[in-house]
Amino acid sequence: MSSLGTVEVSASPKEKFREYLATQKMRLTPEREIIVDEVFDNHEHFDAEELSDRLKVSGRKRVSRSTVYRTLESMEAAGLIRKVARPNGSEIWEHDYGYPQHDHLICRKCGNLEEFQNEQIKAILEEIADSMGFFKDGHRLEVFGLCSSCRKAPVRRHRKLDMI
């Protein structure tokens, strides 16, 4: 889905998560490990229900829904994933660790999400932060609107009475 590429990281997502969990006096259980592996197998946006369903279908060890939800929250706290807003108010998850800074265009009608990078936006935000004495260590931009497909006029079929 993403053409953003990756960023060189010093530890694998699993290692980084294990380190984070240790700081919380928790451990990387087999269930948590399965979830991390499934999340980082590909760069797709997902919600917790979709992930839970994927785990069931994959035939891996049974992982409860509550474990999926709790693990995703911990993975977010560890800086591995982040939430992205949806037009309907729900949220989906995406990789944060190992992927470059990027922003999103989100269609309010169909929910399509496009990732993009723009150096001009980054430069403007840095300039604003500098002018205000603010140390910026990242940003998130989610632009809502209508995608090109949803902006097209609907194809209208003529009724027989209209042709008289």
Judge whether 107 is annotated as a binding position. yes
pLDDT, mean of residues 42-63: 85
Q: Which CATH number fits domain 6-99: 3.40.190.10, 1.10.10.10, 3.40.50.720, 1.10.579.10?
A: 1.10.10.10
pTM of the model: 0.77
Q: Is 61 a residue whose pLDDT tops 50?
A: yes
pLDDT band at 1 (very low <50, low <70, confident <90, very high): very low
DSSP state, 154? Answer: P
Q: Is 4 a residue whose pLDDT tops 80?
A: no
Q: Does domain 101-150 have CATH number 3.30.1490.190?
A: yes
Judge whether 139 is annotated as a binding position. yes
| Mean pLDDT across the chain | 88
Rounded to whole angstroms, the Cα distance separating 16 from 26 reads 13
Judge whether 41 is annotated as a binding position. no
* Inter-residue contact 20 to 63 (CB < 8 Å): no
Judge whether 137 is annotated as a binding position. no
Spatial CA neighbour of 38 closest among 8, 13, 15? 13
Would you list the domain boundaries of the chain?
6-99, 101-150
| Per-residue pLDDT reduced to its tens digit, 144-154 | 999 999 998 77
| Per-residue pLDDT reduced to its tens digit, 104-143 | 999 999 988 999 999 999 999 999 999 999 999 888 899 9
Rounded to whole angstroms, the Cα distance separating 60 from 38 reads 10
